[in-house]
Amino acid sequence: MKKFEETFRLKSENKYPFVRFVRAEYSRSENKLLIYFLATAQAVDGGILSDAVKEDIVNTIVPLLPDEITFSVKYIKVHADEETVRVRLMQAITKYVGVAAQAIKPEDVSVRVDEYVIDVRIKAQKAYFSLLNTEDVRDNVVSYLNDNFVENVNYEIIEKYITEEEKRKISEKSLKTVENAGLNCNISVNDDGTVKEDGNHVFTDLIDPSQDTVVLYEQVRQIKATPVENLVGKAYMNVLPMYIGDIKDTLETATVCGKVAGLEKREYKNKNFGLNLPTGGRFKKNTTDEKLPMYSFFIDDTTGKLAVVYFAKDTNVNALDLSLREGADVVISGKLGERNGIRQILADKMWLADVDYSTIKTELPAKPVSKNYYLVHPEKYFEESQCGMDELMDGKKEVAPYLKGKTFVVFDLETTGLDIGRCKIVQIGSYKIVDGKIVETFSTLVNPGCHIPEDTSAIHGLYDKDVENAPDFKEIVADFYKFSRGATLVGHNAFGFDYPILVRLAKKCGYNFDNPVLDTRVIAKNQYRLPSYNLQNLSKYFGIDLECAHNADFDAIATAKLFLILAEKLK
């Protein structure tokens, strides 16, 4: 994508600084290319981006593409006022440095927009100066802003020194925290704002401390977590999160933590709309719209995964929309329950947090990874080339940066039914992706040891006779465990179906599939506005062949190709 932008600038002799190429969508089936440019609000509203200029831009693009490609250009108007840039800047920093972004105060950020240039200057304490000034962070932040604005970005980090008054606040906050935890120690503050407890460096910067307190309980295993931003409910966190793996069905409420995955925002109907609710009730009277936001995602603390659902009480969810994101560390407090066989927590309090995962003492998997495959052996796979913008220009396929140096196992299951708490597996299809290339496939039928209902067989085409000579799941789980070790698992609706089934059945055999998980349905929903996000419709939209839907092998390869496309926008 960057190559096309550079070539366009060169061919147009940089006559159009008020537009920037941002992305292209190619329909293989229709052989059509839709090219998106950002355009400044001044150029659009002021008539600079005239019909004649648009025609000239099209004429500049024509020689860059093969003659057989039909294309059109779409312009997205963007405003680069200082406040908008500031919001996007903080989103970028939060995305790439996590909780360290909370140490940046509004007064420490300077933004100036002038003549197609955005100047950004940030003052950062010594503890964060090096982090914000690394080449990777600089490149990622600048790239993020370039994806949102036409202007070129200048990014500068300046070291900030803290005052004695700020040191005093840090010391008071840190001392109160450890006292409330029932500890007794001496606190000292370094010049860079970090804290030492009895000579050991234990706290990060705590400037502008709130009145939060932390209580430790000895009855359950707990994880050290420091709240950095209140998102929902009370501003203070008075209990440390427990291990998700320690949750028992008898628990009614719990406080847990982990990394966010599969974040989705939808709407739900407020049943209390129009009612005269009592003061202090759970819901505020909604006088504007009977639809309210609903957030759902999974959290993973390395001991287990838990579904999270939050029903907003009103439309004021600015903190969630701005700060809650994929990969963020959060602490959740709420009521435990189960929906469609998936254990979940209904959140009533939520914080962004600095989670110390080193305080988690996890057991090794009950069974080690075997040295050899016993029954099901992977086979080599030769991936068909896929078409992208740069490939259209010079015939070469560039691997998405997100995929480089990583291994993914894309998998799909066919089962005896839709009840994820009881159904059995009848087929596993999976493909391994290394450095953006599909290199291996792992496939097997599985004998579930029970009758496959006829209505289920009618969907995936597998009947009792098809699996009667297939191995049991317990006979092949070790092979699939070996195949997927060290990889991120990827599936379509993985969070809601395939992954919880795999985990449930594997644990009965002594295997712990604790891999990171990605869900292509969630990724697609976050990237595109489409009428449907099922695998068949997404395959059709992206021109992916799906010869036999609801067959694990065909669904898995279609999901793998879909993931390779969606990964172009992942960072």
Q: What is the pLDDT of residues 202-214, one digit of tens each?
A: 444 333 333 333 3
Across 74-78, 172-176, 215-219, 221-225, the highest mean pLDDT is recorded for: 74-78
Lowest-confidence range among 348-352, 453-457, 545-549? 545-549
Query: Residue 67 pLDDT > 50, yes or no?
Result: yes
Q: Do you know the residue count of the chain?
A: 571
CA distance 140 to 130: 15
Residue 448 pLDDT > 50: yes
Concatenated DSSP letters of 151-190: SEEEEEEEEE---HHHHHHHHHHHHHHHHHTT----EEE-
Flag whether pLDDT at 282 surpasses 80: no
Average pLDDT, the chain: 80
Identify the pLDDT of residue 343.
79
For residue 245, what are the contacts with CB-CB under 8 A and spacing of at least 6? Answer: 301, 303, 304, 362
Can you read off the two tokens belonging to residue 215? 């209580």
**CA gap 83, 100 in Å, rounded:** 21
Q: How many of the other CB atoms lie within 10 Å of CB of 214?
A: 19
Confidence of residue 270 (pLDDT cuts 50, 70, 90): low
Nearest-angstrom CA–CA distance, 227 and 194: 16
**451 exposed, middle or buried (CB, 10 Å; 0-12, 13-18, 19+)?**
exposed
Q: How far apart are CA 91 and CA 88, in angstroms?
A: 5
Which tens digit of pLDDT belongs to each residue from 117-148? 999 999 887 767 877 888 888 888 888 888 88
Where does the pLDDT of residue 271 fall: very low under 50, low under 70, confident under 90, or very high at 90 and above? Answer: low
Looking at the predicted structure, is the pLDDT value of residue 382 above 80? no
- At 551 the three-state DSSP class reads coil
pLDDT surpasses 90 at 189? no
Q: Is the pLDDT of residue 499 over 50?
A: yes
- Max mean pLDDT among 96-110, 232-246, 305-319, 518-532 falls in 518-532
Q: Estimate to the nearest angstrom the gap between the alpha carbon of 283 and the chain centroid.
A: 29
The region that residue 82 occupies, defined by phi over 0 for left and psi between -120 and 50 for alpha, beta otherwise, is: alpha
Alpha helices (H) in 396-512, listed in sequence order: 454-460, 464-467, 473-484, 499-508
pLDDT at 85 over 90: no
Better-scored residue on pLDDT, 88 or 207: 88
Residue 364 has pLDDT above 60, yes or no: no
Q: Give dist(CA 82, CA 112) in Å, integer.
A: 6
Higher pLDDT, 49 or 1: 49
Can you give the pLDDT at residue 50?
Answer: 92
What's the confidence (pLDDT) of residue 528? 86
How far is residue 321's CA from residue 325's CA, in Å, rounded to a whole number? 8
Q: Which two tokens stand for residue 349?
A: 């309090």
The answer for residues whose C-beta is within 8 angstroms of residue 375's C-beta and 6 or more apart is 444, 471, 475, 476, 479
> Torsion-angle region of residue 483: left (phi > 0), alpha (psi -120 to 50) or beta?
alpha
Residue 183 has pLDDT above 50, yes or no: no
Check if the beta carbon of residue 539 is closer than 8 Å to that of residue 546.
Answer: yes
24-51, pLDDT tens digit by residue? Answer: 887 776 778 889 898 988 888 888 999 9
The predicted structure's pLDDT at residue 79: 85
Q: Which tokens sit at 302?
A: 């390395």
Q: Are 549 and 555 in contact (CB under 8 A)?
A: yes
